[in-house]
């Protein structure tokens, strides 16, 4: 049914639930997984003194280190149950964009991700990356809550 499942995680407890669900499903289906972590871009409307290269380099280094920690843990979880796993860090992108680009680039046929279930003003201010993915993809999407 599904051969290559994309699992999106943000490193939160809810993101970990997506990883567990995706790895378990892949195990039962004999599928592989690609776990993606997207690092949001640094805001460009900050004062110039805050966006000089040393800060930017520190920001990118910190994001890469966090991504490595999250992706290594996900890969280990997959390895523990015998599921082939690739990892992908998408830096400086918005989550929905990075998830969709990774799914396309990796030839995935299912996306698994979480939704924080924000409502009202929180949803308006923070947006819904899960909703954005659902609206823009033709792939099936499994939302974990």
Question: What pLDDT tens digit does each residue of the chain (145 aa) get?
Answer: 899 999 999 999 999 999 999 999 999 999 999 999 999 987 656 666 665 667 777 888 999 999 999 999 999 999 999 999 999 999 999 999 999 999 999 999 999 999 876 555 544 444 589 999 999 999 999 999 8
* Selection from 47, 31, 38, 34 nearest residue 7 by Cα: 34
Asked whether 133 and 101 are in contact (CB, 8 A), the reply is no
Tell me what pLDDT residue 124 has.
Answer: 47
Tell me what pLDDT residue 71 has.
Answer: 98
The CATH number of residue 93's host domain is 3.40.50.620
The whole domain housing 80 covers 4-144
* pTM of structure: 0.88
Q: Could you give the C-alpha distances from 49 to 41, 44, 52, 55, in angstroms and in order? A: 17, 12, 6, 9
Q: Could you give the C-alpha distances from 122 to 75, 97, 114, in angstroms and in order? A: 32, 20, 16
Tell me what pLDDT residue 117 has.
Answer: 62
**Rg of the chain on CA atoms, in Å:** 16
Domain count, the chain: 1
């Amino acid at each position: 049914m599904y051969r290559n499942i994309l699992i999106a995680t943000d490193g939160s407890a809810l993101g970990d639930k997506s990883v567990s669900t995706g790895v378990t499903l892949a195990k039962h289906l004999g599928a592989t997984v690609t776990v993606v972590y997207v690092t949001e871009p640094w805001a460009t409307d900050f004062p110039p003194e805050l966006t000089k290269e040393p800060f930017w380099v520190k920001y990118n280094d910190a994001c890469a280190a966090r991504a490595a920690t999250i992706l290594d843990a996900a890969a280990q979880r997959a390895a523990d149950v015998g599921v082939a796993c690739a990892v992908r860090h998408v830096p400086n992108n918005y989550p929905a964009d990075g998830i969709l680009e990774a799914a396309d680039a990796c030839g995935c046929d299912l996306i698994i991700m979480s939704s924080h279930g924000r409502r009202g003003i929180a949803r308006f201010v923070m947006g819904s990356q899960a909703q954005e993915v659902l609206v823009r993809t033709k792939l099936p999407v499994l939302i974990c809550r």
